[in-house]
Amino acid sequence: MEKAPTGNFLLVAAIDFGTAYSGYALSFKSNPMKIQTNQGWNAGSKMLISHKTPTCVLLNPQQQFDSFGYDAENKYANLLEDGKHQGWMFFRRFKMILHNIQVLLKRP
């Protein structure tokens, strides 16, 4: 087990990288019991507000990160509507696929 790093940290952050949805929380050293979460991601037509966002990612044609969550869903939907989606890569609910690949790689 690795020893936790020591130092003069200002905050602690936690990421919930879920199978379907993801979120985060953080607290500052000055008030560690005041835990803050995202105030809300806007979904679709921006009428729905959620504390979590879909676990999906959009890569541009150069295979570089473009967006995550609702932003990725909305942008890819717009690209599809305009017929400009060729070369873009949209991945949804990929957490368990990554986990299964990791398990396979660890097999003797």
pLDDT digits (tens, 9 = 90+) for 40-90: 777 666 667 777 889 999 999 999 999 999 899 999 999 999 999 999 999
CB 34 within 8 A of CB 16: no
* Nearest Cα to Cα of residue 87 among 106, 66, 61: 61
DSSP state of 31: S
pTM: 0.70
Q: d(Cα 85, Cα 79) in Å, to the nearest integer?
A: 5
8 Å CB contact between 88 and 75: no
Q: Identify the pLDDT of residue 62.
A: 97
